[in-house]
Chain A
Amino acid sequence: GAGVSQSPSNKVTEKGKDVELRCDPISGHTALYWYRQRLGQGLEFLIYFQGNSAPDKSGLPSDRFSAERTGESVSTLTIQRTQQEDSAVYLCASSLTLRGQYFGPGTRLTVT
C-alpha cells in the first residue's frame, strides 16, 4: 500500500516569506507527527496529532510555526516569516498505534 507522502519535496524561499508543507499519512493511521532534521543531526519532535484530540504543540520552536490536521487525513505545517535557521528537512510520520512510526520522504526547506 501507499506510504506517507509529503509535498513539495524541495522548497526554496526567501527570508520573510511564509511556506506551507503538506503531509498525507498512511490511510487509517490515527496518529501523525512532524519532526525537523537539521543537516547532519537527529530528528527533533515538533507536533503530534491523534484523532480529534487537541494536538500537542510542545515541540514547536516559535509562534511562527503552526500545524493543522483535517480529521485523520492530511496535515499542513506552516512557517510564517521564514528565517535562515528554519532551513532543514521537515519529516512527517504516521502510526496506527503508539509504536511503529512510519516516515515520509520529507520536505527539504532552504531559506535564502
Chain B
Amino acid sequence: GENVEQHPSTLSVQEGDSAVIKCTYSDSASNYFPWYKQELGKGPQLIIDIRSNVGEKKDQRIAVTLNKTAKHFSLHITETQPEDSAVYFCAASNAGGTSYGKLTFGQGTILTVHP
C-alpha cells in the first residue's frame, strides 16, 4: 500500500518568512495530493491540492509543487502570518479506478509563526 513520509515534524519561522514542508510517497499510481491545515480542536481543512498532471499550483500565499519522477511534493507558504500556525498534513491517493480516493496521510508538521 501507499506510504507517505512528511518532513519536518516541527517548523518554526518568523512572521514574514517563507515555510516549506516536504512529503514523499511510495505508490507511483497515486495521482492526487491534497494538503490539510488542522487547528487545535478542529478537523483538518483542505487548503490546496494538486493532481499528477500538473507540476505546480498556486493560491495566493500558498503553492504546491509535485515531482512525479522523484515521488515528492511540497507545500510553500510565503509571507507567513501568526494565523498560519497550525498542524499541516500532506496526503496522497489514487483517485479513480478501484481506489476511490482513500487518503494516506503524512505524520504532520507543527508550524509555528512567531510575531
Q: Is the CB of A101 within 8 A of B96?
A: no
Instruction: Give the interface size class of chain B.
Output: 20 to 34
Interface residues of A in 63-99 (CB under 8 A from B): 91, 93, 95, 97-99
Inter-chain residue pair count (beta carbon < 8 A): 68
Q: Give the residues in chain A near B108, CB-CB below 8 Å.
A: 40-42
Q: Give the residues in chain A near B42, CB-CB below 8 Å.
A: 105-106
Q: Give the residues in chain B near A40, CB-CB below 8 Å.
A: 108
* Interface residue count on the A side (C-beta < 8 Å): 27
B6 nearest in chain A by CB position: A42
Interface flags, B85-115, vs A, CB<8A=1, else 0: 0000101010110001111111110000000
Would you call A31 an interface residue if the criterion is a C-beta within 8 Å of the partner chain's C-beta atoms?
yes
Q: Give the residues in chain B near A91, CB-CB below 8 Å.
A: 43-44
Q: A97 CA to B108 CA in the complex, in Å?
A: 25
Q: A33-B102, A42-B6, A99-B34 are in contact. List 15 more A-B contacts (CB 8 A).
A: A31-B100, A41-B107, A41-B108, A42-B105, A42-B108, A43-B44, A43-B91, A44-B105, A48-B100, A97-B101, A99-B95, A100-B34, A101-B101, A102-B46, A103-B36
6 A-B pairs in the complex with CB atoms less than 8 angstroms apart: A33-B102, A35-B103, A41-B108, A97-B95, A100-B46, A103-B45
Give A contacts to B, CB under 8 Å: 4, 31, 33, 35, 40-45, 48, 50, 56, 59, 91, 93, 95, 97-106
